[in-house]
Amino acid sequence: KQSWMARLKAGLAKTSNNLSVLFVGAKIDDALYDELEAALLMSDAGVDATTYLLDTLKRRVKEDKLLDAAAVKAALKQLLLELLTPLERPFELGRHTPTVMMIAGVNGAGKTTTIGKLAKHMQTHGQSVLLAAGDTFRAAAREQLMVWGQRNNITVISQASGDPAAVAFDAVQSGKAKGLDVVMVDTAGRLPTQLHLMEELKKVQRVLGKGMEGAPHETLLVIDGNTGQNALAQVKAFDDALKLTGLVITKLDGTAKGGVLAAIARVRPVPVYFIGVGEKIDDLQPFVAAEFVEALLG
């Protein structure tokens, strides 16, 4: 069985190879920087982060009088580490009963899978968890969560033809009454009616606050690490609407290019609590910048 680090490395292999190959026996000249620029853009880092990385790297190479390609590669690695470290934020449950978490994300991002992994993780650490099936738009999403809850002995609150805000409110009431540790509220993620979706999510957020002061304590956005610059657009849109407290970036074991983290760090630095590196329970890992950079440029 492959370790999660091996899967992360495999997922980022394309970017990793593109970057590493540049430095093999290379001269430090404009051609190298041009190729580096292309590789960073290809990695989904976006124009802002790419420009920042290149400019800063060039300056350091000059200041530190770096003469060989290996040293330049090491400098890039250090620079990436500095850029990504501020995104690191260990996830800790507050001292609320319950801690209310709202989970958002477009369909297919890995929201349900992530909720399952998180709930299971908390349960195995002795925390009592309640899930709210707030994606009332997709019957299948509700069913999926119900079945999963039954199998894992986790209560799921659901309403067949419900208003998502009502489901969320019920869940908080129930969590308070039972003295639970965590209430996790799943939400809809349909795309075609973005504007309406944001209004609906804002309403869920407001209603959670009415159910319990200070709730939701966490508003997480789940994004698919394979969607490149579109992931950044999602972070911006959801953060504008909901003031996110954290991100989960999934599918970094797939064919993700990884650069989008640099873009997020530069353009909208919402902390990354977890990364998804597979479909199983253990495949949700805390984001640690040093590990990520190691997988990318190790």
Question: Is position 27 annotated in a ligand binding site?
Answer: no
- Report the alpha-carbon distance of residue 176 to residue 97 in Å, rounded: 6
> Sign (positive/negative) of CA torsion 75, 90, 222, 6?
positive
142 binds ligand GDP (CB under 6 A): no
Residue 298: both structure tokens together? 């190790």
> Rounded to the nearest 5 degrees, what angle is found at the Cα of 118, between the Cα atoms of 96 and 115?
100
Give the count of beta carbons closer than 10 Å to the beta carbon of residue 129: 26
User: How far apart are CB 7 and ligand GDP at their closest, in Å?
Assistant: 8
Interaction pattern, residues 155-194, with ligand GDP; x per rule: CB under 6 A:
----------------------------------x-----
For residue 185, the cross-strand partners are: 102, 132
112 binds ligand GDP (CB under 6 A): yes
- Report the alpha-carbon distance of residue 127 to residue 289 in Å, rounded: 27
250 binds ligand GDP (CB under 6 A): yes
How many residues interact with ligand GDP (rule CB under 6 A)?
18
User: How far apart are CB 292 and ligand GDP at their closest, in Å?
Assistant: 14
For residue 272, the cross-strand partners are: 88, 247
**117 versus 266: smaller Cβ distance to ligand GDP:** 117
Question: Is position 105 annotated in a ligand binding site?
Answer: yes
Of 73, 120, 251, 257, the residue at the interface with ligand GDP (CB under 6 A) is: 251
283 binds ligand GDP (CB under 6 A): yes
Query: 3-state SS string over 233-271?
Result: HHHHHHHHHHCCCEEEEECCCCCCCCCHHHHHHHHCCCC
Residues within window 10-29 making contact with ligand GDP, judged by CB under 6 A: none
Question: Is position 209 annotated in a ligand binding site?
Answer: no
143 binds ligand GDP (CB under 6 A): no
The residues that touch ligand GDP, with contacts defined as CB under 6 A, are: 105, 107-113, 189, 250-251, 253-254, 276-279, 283
